[in-house]
Structure 1
Amino acid sequence: MENLSLSQNQMLFGWADYLLFVSTLLLSLLIGVYHAWRSSNSTSEYLMGGKSMGIFPIAMSLAASSISGTTLLGTPADVYFTGTMYLWMPLAMFLCTPATGYVYLSMFHRLQVVSANQYLELRFNQFVRRIASFLYIIKQLFYMAIVVYAPSLALKQVTGINVYLSVGVMLGVCTFYTAFGGIKAVVWTDTLQIFVMYGSFITVLVKGSLDIGGLETVWQRNLNSSRTEFLNVDFDPTTRHTIWSLVIGGFFYWTSFYGTDQSIVQRFLAMPTLRRARISMWCNLVAAAGLVALACFGGMIVYAKYFDCDPLTSKVIEKADQIMPLFVMDTVGSLPGLPGLFVAGVFSGALSSLSSGLNSVALIVLEDFIRPFFPLIEDHTATKITKGVAILFGCINFGMVLLVSQVQTILDATLSFNGAVNGATIGVFTLGMFVPQANSIGAGFGLLASFAAMMWLGVGSQIAKSRGLSHNQMKTLRTDSCPLINSTVSAAISKGLLQSGNEADSSIFLWRISYLWYTMIGMLIVLIFGTIISFLCGPQNPLTLDPKLVYRFSDCFRSNKKAEESPSDPKIDDIELE
């Protein structure tokens, strides 16, 4: 294929590309410096923005944080290799929005907590809270490592710059503006970065579809390869993408992410009222779901370009997630500035997720592990500690990249690991809110049992895939037009792909369950085991339980009146413990 033979010569940044790319990093740094200069030394201002954040920046920050570089690179690659079923994911995001805004956010705003896990101490005890906080920190370490690794692959593809060098630059920039600028710097850099993501992606996709011959050609080539698949209603849980796994499994995944993930909850709690938090959630839905849909469409365009010569099997690229950067260089590589704009967009997605993670981990460490032991710690000292924690975890993250570089596809790995941990987390929150008889023993046991089971499932699945024991149910890939691959090799490749699907049947059944079910499975483990253990060990008496800690369906129809009238910023010792 002509484009593949030319791509190696095009795979270089020009001065305009470097200028756009570096400008994005510098703007993020300047926003951090500005808010570090403007803000006070109070912990409330640093971590919660003084509870005065507006709807628009919070909504854009939520969208930027939830749509990382893994989405911009991994989703097109996933659609390229497995088809268009992933387009059902925005529906799951839509369904999770009312569940998040009218269940979990209602509870957090009514209690006016600072850390989401603070609820677990109020409902159960400190032990359950600290288990959840520890698991969250571990999850964030892995997630942030994946987030920075993905765009580094993109940069290597278009510049040849070493992956670990670009990882170091990204971590350095992000750690700086997050540590010194606090949540306001994080939110406003996210707002800048979401526009960079949209602009870069739309530009590349429009140019790419026009080069191929328009939307009709894109659709026809995907249709001919059976990629335009939208109605897979297979009830087999090992089928990777079905309507059920994407809508139902996706619903639980996104509800756990928006409803209980500290990096997200922290933004909602930085707003003065529950009503504004709910509005920002709906605005975020439009921006986030739009990017997911664009990324899916991008995968269709990429396939239409390489439909008769797959770059992965022809060894033009090393990993599946490099196919989008290759497409960018083949499409706009000769136009000064556009490759730099795309890489800036991917980096923006990574920076937004990374900064959110660092800021939320700093808050978790302070509120859940330091302040309970040093309740009289001075405010300016607490602020310095959180900045130090952010810097420390930024450094630790560099080492974690070495581990996550072994994963097969970044989208699968990200959603698998997040789904495994989020299932345990949302499970224990749901247990506390909806099962009044649940006690701390049942909650702690259910949380640990779910985490252990889901980590075995998630890690085992990734190991199986790396060893060829499992597979991603890939569609047919053609190499008949590749200039360096003859028909014999092409036939051997196709035969190998078909055989890999049959060999997967010999692996452990549970390791072949679609990653989209992980969150729901983890949640059910907590609810089932937590309820059973609670009753065996002596259930909590609902009459002695503070009614504010149990969800009431009437909360759907009223906002937090106290929060509307007088927003506050209480610490853990300001709330009477059970």
Structure 2
Amino acid sequence: MEETSKSHNELLFGWADYLLFTSTLLMSLLIGVYHAWRGSNSTSEYLMGGKSMGIFPIAMSLAASSISGTTLLGTPADVYLTGTMYLWMPLAMFLCTPATGYLYLSMFHRLQVVSANQYLELRFNHIVRRIASFLYIVKQLFYMAIIVYAPSLALKQVTGINVYISVGVLLSVCTFYTALGGLKAVVWTDTLQIFVMYGSFITVLVKGSMDIGGLDTVWQRNFNSSRTEFLNIDFDPTTRHTIWSLVIGGFFYWTSFYGTDQSIVQRFLAMPTLPRAQISMWCNLVAAAGIVGLACFGGMIVYAKYFDCDPLTSKVIEKADQIMPLFVMDTVGSLPGLPGLFVAGVFSGALSSLSSGLNSVALIVLEDFIRPFFPLIEDQTATKITKGVAILFGCINFGMVLLVSQVQTILDATLSFNGAVNGATIGVFSLGMFVPQANSIGAGFGLLASFATMMWLGIGSQIAKSRGLSHNQLKLLRTDRCPLFNSTASAAISNGSMNEADSVFVLWKISYLWYTMIGMLIVLILGTIISFLSGPQNPQKLDPKLLCKFSNCFRSSKKAGESPSDPKTDDIELE
């Protein structure tokens, strides 16, 4: 076995690592300053990039924002603990691409809305729109806290810097360039950051696999531990990763994310035409799925290195999410600059997702909560307000980190919470688009009922996991080659977790991958039933552009600069 224990000093950053790491942060700041200097003070320029963004930067920005640091740290840790079933996730991403591009995205481009939730006001009323907007803000607060916490764990592992100090640095840098440069700064920093993510991850994985003995050794050690699992077809919804949960559940998760999340829709609407936006979606698929695949492969390499001395059981690390940074330092720690490059990649993922969230929240607050009450607000004043909102929410997120620091694994927590909220969101959009008889009462009640149910389910699940609940797919972790450590500890920990699971409420054991689909079905079923009981909407009185039919969902929209013919949309179009 390779020697994996090193002295504390050898596991810390050197000057070259700090140089590369700080250079990435500095370049992000400079991009924000540049676009603040070059751009105009108009709200359209600040929030929508003047609707002139190109295919390549939007595609790279989408990929960077959809990945974040949770994928770079959480996915390898998950594969290390449970095996390779997560490799089915890129298929779900592929299947969601046409559904997103030709259904939801087509609708938004056709109506030329600015905030995705404007559709809900056109289809239902302003109350449904504001409920959805409020839930989105709540979701973003928790989500941004998680994606800030993840890279801070990595930085602590390789530098010893306190988590909350690195959280403060990350939030300060991101809030500054987002508030200063607007959407263009966000998109172009994302483009830089996706290349940093790819470069750092590939470099570490190539060096790591070579040190272990090549791909044959990686495969053999994973195969011998039953981690090379690809055909789990268990129909039990409490089984965390199966083909069904990953492909079907993952399809609904990614469709809700790409199709209705404001931070993503905002980028699509920043492009002049629908075909360009659809092309960027397909390009994003290649980049995002590639990172997910590399992260899964990274988990296999990490296990191959620590296959007979698990750092988690032997208390070398505190949480499973720290295993990738430990692997980096054990693998390339002696090569100046490479650890810094990896941490820069993880921080790049966090910066991209955080900046997208701050920018989208600023737009939601302006368009859904301020402009309706102050329709004559001056453009320069509106721009200043959005910058202030971005700064405010950046500060609030520092406090939110305290709430997410207790999660078991960041990948699980991220997808659980996002899936719970996104299910309600995609449900109400789908209700409006595909159920002509749905009315505002059914939509509002279904949205709130789904959100409450799924939050209860998600929070209950996380509490159960924090108290020791484990799932039935954890693989054996060996400690027989760990110096001065009892090799039976791993089995004892596992058995204790399984006994704890017997007393947990059964619904809290449902795989997090089903959350989005369950939330969506709650809205569709309750919303339809309540609509019919309270007096269904007359489809003849609806603008046909608000419904998704083959004749209007599968055709190209006109250029973004043209106003839609429906006078209702003209009233709320961004000036």
Shorter-chain TM-score tier: over 0.9
With over 3 angstroms needed to count, the CA separation of the structure-2 counterparts of 1:570 and 1:313, relative to structure 1, is: farther
Where does structure 2 lack aligned partners over 5 or more consecutive residues? none
Query: Does the 8 A contact of 2:69 with 2:150 survive in 1?
Result: yes
Kindly state the Cα deviation for residue 479 of structure 1 after the two structures are TM-superposed.
0.5
Q: 2-side partners of 1:263 and 1:548: how far apart?
A: 23
Match of 1:146, SS state, is helix
Cα distance between partner residues in 1 of 2:237 and 2:59:
34
Q: Secondary structure at the match of 1:565?
A: coil
Change (3 A) 1:18 1:111: same
Q: 1:571 to 1:81 in 2, by over 3 A?
A: farther
Q: Is the 8 A contact 2:69 2:151 kept in 1?
A: yes
CA displacement at 1:303 relative to structure 2:
0.2
Deviation string, structure 1 residues 396-423 (Cα, Å, up to 9, x no partner):
0000001100111000000000000000
Cα 1:543–1:473, aligned 2, differ >3 Å: closer, same or farther? same
Q: CA deviation at 1:468?
A: 1.4
Distance 1:377 1:564, change over 3 A: closer
Q: Match for 2:554 among 554, 557, 569?
A: 557
Greater shift after overlay, 504-513 or 256-265?
A: 504-513
Query: Structure 2 vs 1, CA of residues 56 and 489 (structure 1 numbering), >3 Å: closer, same or farther?
Result: closer
Partner secondary structure for residue 13 of structure 2: coil
Contact 1:122 1:577 in 2 (8 A): no
Deviation at 1:572, TM superposition (A): 6.1
Residue 240 of structure 2 contacts residue 471 of structure 2 at CA under 8 Å; is this kept in 1? no
Q: Distance in 1 between matches of 2:363 and 2:204?
A: 38
* Structure 2 CA distance for aligned equivalents of residues 324 and 366 of structure 1: 40
Structure 2 CA distance for aligned equivalents of residues 248 and 275 of structure 1: 27
Aligned to 1:518: 515
**1:469 is paired with a residue of what secondary structure?**
coil
CA offset at residue 3 of structure 1? 3.2
Shift of 1:516: 0.1
Q: CA 1:41–1:568 in structure 2 vs 1: closer, same or farther (change >3 Å)? A: farther
| Alpha-carbon distance, 1:484 to partner | 2.3
Question: CA–CA distance in 2 between the matches of 1:195 and 1:105?
Answer: 26
The worse-fitting range, judged by mean Cα deviation, of 568-577 and 273-282 is 568-577
Q: TM-score, normalised by structure 1?
A: 0.97
Worse-superposed segment, 466-475 or 406-415: 466-475
**Matched length:** 575
Gaps of 5+ in 1: none
Deviations 1:234-286, CA, capped at 9 Å, x for gaps: 00000000000000000000000000000000000000000000000000000
Distance of 1:576 and 1:16 partners within structure 2: 49
1:67-111 CA-to-partner distances (Å, cap 9, x unmatched) read: 000000000000000000000000000000000000000100000
SS in structure 2 at match of 1:271:
coil
The answer to whether the 8 A contact 1:232-1:243 is kept is yes
Contact preservation (8 Å) 2:93, 2:289: yes
Task: Provide the secondary structure at the position in 1 that maps to 2:114.
Answer: coil
**Residue 472 to residue 387, structure 1, CA distance change in 2 (3 Å):** farther
Deviation readout 1:349-387 (Å, 9 max, x if unpaired): 000000000000000000000000000000000000000
1:11, CA displacement in angstroms?
1.2
Task: Give me the whole-angstrom Cα distance separating, in 2, the residues matched to 1:227 and 1:340.
Answer: 30
User: Cα 1:149–1:488, aligned 2, differ >3 Å: closer, same or farther?
Assistant: closer
C-alpha distance in structure 2 between counterparts of 1:219 and 1:484, whole Å: 28
Deviation at 1:505, TM superposition (A): 2.9
Distance in 2, matches of 1:472 and 1:569, equals 54
**Equivalent pair of 2:114/2:574 in contact (CA under 8 Å):** no
- Deviation per CA, 1:200-229, whole angstroms, max 9, x where unpaired? 000000000000000000000000000000
- The question of whether the paired residues in 2 share the 8 Å contact of 1:442 and 1:529 is answered with yes
Cα pair distance change 1:74/1:483, threshold 3 Å: same
Question: Is the CA contact 2:313–2:489 (under 8 Å) kept in the aligned structure 1?
Answer: no
Say which is worse superposed, 467-476 or 295-304, in terms of deviation.
467-476
CA distance in structure 1 between the aligned counterparts of 2:574 and 2:532, rounded to whole angstroms:
23
Q: Deviations over 1:151-202 (max 9, x none)?
A: 0000000000010000000000000000010000000000000000000000
Give the TM-score, by structure 2 length: 0.97
Q: Once the two structures are superposed, what CA deviation does each residue of 1:301-342 show, in whole Å capped at 9, x if it has no partner?
A: 000000001000000000110000000000000000000000
Aligned partner of 2:286 in structure 1 is 286
Deviations 1:427-454 (A, max 9, x none): 0000000000000000000000000000
Bigger shift: residues 568-577 or 506-515: 568-577
Contact 1:256 1:426 in 2 (8 A): yes
Q: Relative to 1, partners in 2 of residues 1:314 and 1:88: Cα closer, same or farther, differing over 3 Å?
A: same
Counterpart CA distance in 2 for 1:474 and 1:56 is 40
> C-alpha separation between the residues in 2 aligned to 1:366 and 1:575?
12
Q: Is the 8 A contact 1:274 1:564 kept in 2?
A: no
2:541 is aligned with 1:544: yes
Give, in whole Å, the separation in 1 of the partners of 2:362 and 2:214.
48
> In the aligned structure 2, how far is the partner of 1:568 from the partner of 1:44?
20
The answer to whether the Cα contact below 8 Å between 1:112 and 1:570 also exists between their aligned partners in 2 is no
What's the offset of the Cα at 1:563? 4.0
Distance 1:395 1:414, change over 3 A: same
Structure 1 Cα separation of the partners of residues 193 and 232 of structure 2: 35
1:472/1:398 CA distance change after superposition, 3 Å = farther
Relative distance call for 1:49 and 1:482 in structure 2 (3 A) is same
Work out the CA distance in 2 between the residues paired with 1:209 and 1:220. 12
CA separation of 1:491 and 1:182: change in aligned 2, threshold 3 A: closer
Q: Is the 8 A contact 1:114 1:569 kept in 2?
A: no
2:559 counterpart SS class: helix
8 Å Cα contact 2:239/2:472 also seen in 1: no
Aligned-partner Cα distance in 1 for 2:565–2:376? 19
Contact preservation (8 Å) 1:431, 1:443: yes
Helix, strand or coil at the partner of 2:3: helix
CA distance in 2 between counterparts of 1:56 and 1:217 reads: 38
Deviation at 1:556, TM superposition (A): 4.5
Tell me, yes or no, if the aligned pair for 2:111 and 2:564 is still in contact at 8 Å: no
> How big is the shift at 1:507?
1.1
Tell me the alpha carbon deviations over residues 107-139 of structure 1, each in whole angstroms, 9 at most, x when there is no partner.
Answer: 000000000000000000000000000000000
| Contact 2:2/2:305, CA 8 A, preserved across alignment | no
1: distance between equivalents of 2:485 and 2:242?
34
CA–CA distance in structure 1, aligned partners of residues 510 and 361 of structure 2: 30
Shift, 1:564, TM fit: 8.1
Aligned counterparts of 2:409 and 2:494: Cα–Cα separation in 1: 20
Q: After TM superposition, give the deviation of residue 571 of structure 1 in Å.
A: 10
**Among the aligned pairs, what percent are the same residue?**
91
Query: In angstroms, what is the RMSD of aligned CA positions?
Result: 2.0
Question: Separation in 2 of the partners of 1:354 and 1:200?
Answer: 20
Q: 1:557 to 1:488 in 2, by over 3 A?
A: closer
Judged with a 3 Å threshold, the aligned counterparts in structure 2 of structure 1 residues 492 and 107 are, in CA distance, closer, same or farther, namely closer
Shift in Å, 1:493: 4.3
| Residue 501 (structure 1) shift | 2.2
- CA distance, structure 1, for counterparts of residue 238 and residue 122 of structure 2: 39
Q: 1:538 to 1:577 in 2, by over 3 A?
A: farther
8 Å contact 1:68–1:352 — kept in the other structure? yes
Corresponding residue of 1:392: 392
Cα shift at 1:486: 3.0
CA contact (8 A) 1:272 1:567 kept: no
Give secondary structure in 2 for the equivalent of 1:563: coil
The alpha-carbon distance between structure 1 residues 502 and 121, as it changes in their structure 2 partners (threshold 3 A), is same
State how far apart, in whole Å, the 2-side matches of 1:355 and 1:208 are. 31
Find the counterpart in structure 1 of residue 87 from structure 2.
87
Q: Decide whether the 8 Å contact of 1:51 with 1:569 is kept in 2.
A: no
